[in-house]
Amino acid sequence: MVGVAVGLFVVAAATMLVTTQLNDNRRLLLETQVQQDLRATADIITRQIRRAAHWDKAHLSVAQPDVPAAVNPLAMVAPDAAPSAQVEFFYDSPTGEVGPFGFRRNGDLIQSRIGGGWQDLTDRRTLKITSFNVNPVNGPALALTCDKLCADGTKDCWPRLTVRALEVEMEGQAASDPSVRRSLTTFVRLRNDWIPSLACPA
């Protein structure tokens, strides 16, 4: 009887140990999956946003004698001030499409705007997005040098250049276990700076 009791105790302890290890392993797999899904989504968003304002005719922005410099018509990126759960932008793509492109949170999904429609970027069967926020963190407007001062003798009318960047924050949870939550923040520096006007005093 003593041997049977000891044997049952050992079996029970082994069963508890195996169960604990299986639960820990399952949670580790879920945490890894959530983190990897968030990172993959952030990588796609980062690569796309960096292309914002790419213009195939950027050479027209170079000032020439008797020819006014053109302003990039694809320069708009929203949001440009307050944080938002959606970002939209334009650029000359290899296919000839200029946008609008973008990303947004729709319920527990992040969606990508392609070809005029919204498509799911994340899969709600494995990851549920609980937060998506895009925050502009632009640098200060820097004055570009002109040959002449403004009519009032100041530099106030000189062109201004703004280095643009966006901070993208995401948070998600495993679809099968809401207690498994992860967040990710990425900083995106736009390659095309914002210059609203290239005109210098005549």
Residue 17 main-chain phi, psi, to 5 deg? -65, -45
**Can you give the pLDDT at residue 24?**
57
Asked whether residue 9 carries a pLDDT value surpassing 70, the answer given is no
Mean pLDDT of the residues in the chain: 83
Partners of residue 113 on adjacent β-strands: 102, 118
Beta-strand pair 117-120/127-136? unpaired
> 53: phi > 0 → left, psi -120 to 50 → alpha, else beta; which?
left
Report for 6-20, 57-71, 87-101: range of highest mean pLDDT: 87-101
For 181-196, the DSSP string reads EEEEEEEEE-SS-B-S
By the 8 A CB rule, do 98 and 90 touch?
A: yes
Asked whether residue 153 carries a pLDDT value surpassing 90, the answer given is no
What are the residue boundaries of the structural domains of the chain, listed by start? Answer: 2-189
Q: Three-class SS of residue 83?
A: coil
**Can you give the pLDDT at residue 8?**
62
Instruction: Say what the pTM is.
Output: 0.77
pLDDT in tens, 161-198: 888 899 999 999 988 888 888 999 999 999 888 887 77
